[in-house]
């Protein structure tokens, strides 16, 4: 299935502590001849990874919208078009989850299906611990309550450490350098596309990453631990009480086979899909990931 033409509108709202936040809103669309009833389906909220932003879903969101679901892709505080927080201590999943609650209240959404990539999945699990009633189902993209130290160390090695770059070729090369291990099949065109998502051009022509470097403080200082009792409890609460799909990159160094096995044993009803020759984290448009998401969503209201 190909997506029908879909555009997004900007959502601007304010956090409980006064920060200006942003999200993309993709209206539900249906292919010609589809049953109009699908437009009443539960909306989907997409939450990106640590150093990313809502643009990561610019290909997935229209595909999901074409299934008859409204899609909201957020810029977590400190990223993209959302304001940077003057207090770096607020860059943590508990605060992020509060921002999602605020967004749902602003939009009048009682429940949603969540798609969380990496940090976005941690936010989803945190939300499950606080307000499970808001979650109808969840897709955890290459993340869980137990993480590999190897992957955390790799991410800590680059997050928040990039200086401004001179041109788009340099930006694409930077992203290739830090992500080629996870996406060995990416073309030059694909790296260029990633650069346009991840960087913004300043008034002086220089390119800078579209996030506050302070977002990386927790992972650089070791405050983000590989696991915790609270994380494991939140995962069990989510995956045992709500339909949950784990998508894992076969090359992932963050959710390795050991961690995936723990999750599947802790929640036997957890649905699982693996994306070959991709690491952390799948873009979710890969055939294996997209097929699993379509099947997963088809069973939901």
Contacts of residue 109, defined as CB under 8 A and 6 or more positions apart, other chains included, come to: 43, 103, 134
Q: Is pLDDT above 90 for 237? A: yes
Q: What would you measure as the largest C-alpha separation in the chain, in angstroms?
A: 54
* Residue that is written with structure tokens 């979650």 in the block: 135
Report the pLDDT value the prediction gives residue 4, as an integer from 0 to 100. 44
Determine the length of the chain.
Answer: 301
Report the pLDDT value the prediction gives residue 69, as an integer from 0 to 100. 98
Instruction: pLDDT band for 35, please (50, 70, 90 cuts).
Output: low
pLDDT (tens digit per residue) in 138-194 = 999 999 999 999 999 999 999 998 988 999 999 999 999 999 999 999 999 999 999
Average pLDDT, whole number, for the chain? Answer: 94
Task: Give percent of the chain with pLDDT exceeding 70.
Answer: 95
Q: SS3 for 283?
A: coil
Mean pLDDT, residues 227-235: 97
d(CA 186, CA 167): 20
Specify the pTM: 0.95
User: CATH fold of 9-150+225-298, please?
Assistant: Rossmann fold (3.40.50)
Q: Where are the domains of the chain?
A: 9-150+225-298
d(CA 66, CA 30): 5
pLDDT (tens digit per residue) in 13-26 = 999 999 999 999 99
Instruction: pLDDT band for 31, please (50, 70, 90 cuts).
Output: low
């Amino acid at each position: 299935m190909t997506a029908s033409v879909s555009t997004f509108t900007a959502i601007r709202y304010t956090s409980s502590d006064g920060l200006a936040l942003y999200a993309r809103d993709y209206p539900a669309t249906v292919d010609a001849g589809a049953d109009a009833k699908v437009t009443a389906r539960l909306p989907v909220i997409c939450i990106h990874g640590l150093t990313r932003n809502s643009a990561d879903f610019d290909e997935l969101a229209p595909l999901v919208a074409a299934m008859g679901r409204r899609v909201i892709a957020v810029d977590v505080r400190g990223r993209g078009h959302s304001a940077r927080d003057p207090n770096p201590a607020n860059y943590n999943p508990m605060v992020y989850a509060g921002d999602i609650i605020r967004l749902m209240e602003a939009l009048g959404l009682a429940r949603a299906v969540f798609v969380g990539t990496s940090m976005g999945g941690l936010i989803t699990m945190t939300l499950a611990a606080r307000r499970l009633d808001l979650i109808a189902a969840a897709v955890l993209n290459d993340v869980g309550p137990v993480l590999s130290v190897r992957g955390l160390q790799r991410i800590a090695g680059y997050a928040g450490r990039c200086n401004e770059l001179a041109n788009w070729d340099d930006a694409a090369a930077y992203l290739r350098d830090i992500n080629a291990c996870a996406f060995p099949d990416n073309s030059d065109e694909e790296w260029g596309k990633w650069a346009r998502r991840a960087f913004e051009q300043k008034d002086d022509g220089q390119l800078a990453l579209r996030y506050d470097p302070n977002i990386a403080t927790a992972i650089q200082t070791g405050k983000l631990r590989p696991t915790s009792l609270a994380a494991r409890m939140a995962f069990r609460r989510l995956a045992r009480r709500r339909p949950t799909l784990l998508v894992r990159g076969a090359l992932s160094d963050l959710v390795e086979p050991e961690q995936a096995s723990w999750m599947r044993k802790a929640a036997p009803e957890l649905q699982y899909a693996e994306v070959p020759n991709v690491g952390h984290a799948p873009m979710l448009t890969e055939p294996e990931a997209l097929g699993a998401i379509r099947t997963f969503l088809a069973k939901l209201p």
